[in-house]
C-alpha cells in the first residue's frame, strides 16, 4: 500500500487513464494522497505569436478544471498543472514531492518509441520511486 501516489494524466483522445485511476485507488492506503499531474508542453517561440493572447490562459483554465473533475472521483486527490517537457517535468516534480509510487499509462510501443523513448519508458528508467505502467 502506498501513501503518496503520482498519476501523470494525458488528455489526448487515444489515452485512457481510467485504468491508472482505478489502480491508484486500489493501491492507496485509506489516508493516501493522490496527485493527478498534467504537463503542458512548451509552445515554440516561433509559433507563440500566431496564438491569440487569451487562448493559453483559457486552455490552462480548462485543463485545470478537467484535472480537478478527475481528482474529485478519488479520495484525497488533487490536480496539478505544470509546464515543460513531459518526461523530464514529471521526474522533476517527483523529485520535489517524493511520491512513493508513480502510475503512468502507456500505449503499445512502436518503432519511433524504440529510437526516441516514450514518456513512460523515461519514468520507469529514471524515477527514484516505484513505477507502475498501465496499458
Cell of residue 126, nine digits: 529514471
Right CATH number for 2-8+25-111+128-134 from 3.40.50.620, 3.40.50.300, 3.40.50.970, 3.40.190.10? 3.40.50.620
Q: How confident is the model at residue 115 (pLDDT cuts 50, 70, 90)?
A: very low
Q: How far is CA 98 from CA 5, 24, 27, 71, in A?
A: 9, 16, 17, 19
Rounded CA-CA distance 13/50 in Å is 24
- Average pLDDT of the residues in 99-119: 75
Give start and end residues of each alpha helix (H) in 1-134.
18-27, 45-48, 53-71, 86-97, 111-116, 119-126
Residues 74-104 pLDDT 10s: 999 999 999 999 999 999 999 999 999 999 9
Domain ranges of the chain: 2-8+25-111+128-134
Residues 16-25 pLDDT 10s: 889 999 999 9
Rounded CA-CA distance 48/92 in Å is 25
The share of the chain scoring above pLDDT 90, in percent, equals: 72
Q: Is the pLDDT of residue 28 over 80?
A: yes
Q: pTM for the complete prediction?
A: 0.91
Amino acid at each position: 500500500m502506498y501513501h503518496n501516489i503520482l498519476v501523470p494524466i494525458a488528455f489526448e483522445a487515444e489515452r485512457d487513464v481510467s485504468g491508472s485511476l482505478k489502480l491508484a485507488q486500489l493501491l492507496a492506503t485509506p489516508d493516501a494522497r493522490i496527485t493527478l499531474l498534467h504537463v503542458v508542453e512548451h509552445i515554440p517561440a516561433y509559433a507563440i505569436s500566431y496564438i491569440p493572447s487569451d487562448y493559453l490562459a483559457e486552455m490552462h483554465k480548462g485543463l485545470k478544471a478537467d484535472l480537478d473533475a478527475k481528482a474529485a472521483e478519488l479520495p484525497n486527490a488533487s490536480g496539478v498543472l505544470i509546464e515543460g517537457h513531459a518526461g523530464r517535468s514529471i521526474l522533476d516534480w517527483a523529485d520535489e514531492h517524493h511520491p512513493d509510487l508513480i502510475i503512468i499509462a502507456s500505449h503499445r510501443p512502436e518503432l519511433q518509441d524504440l529510437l526516441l523513448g516514450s514518456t513512460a519508458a523515461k519514468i520507469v528508467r529514471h524515477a527514484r520511486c516505484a513505477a507502475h505502467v498501465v496499458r
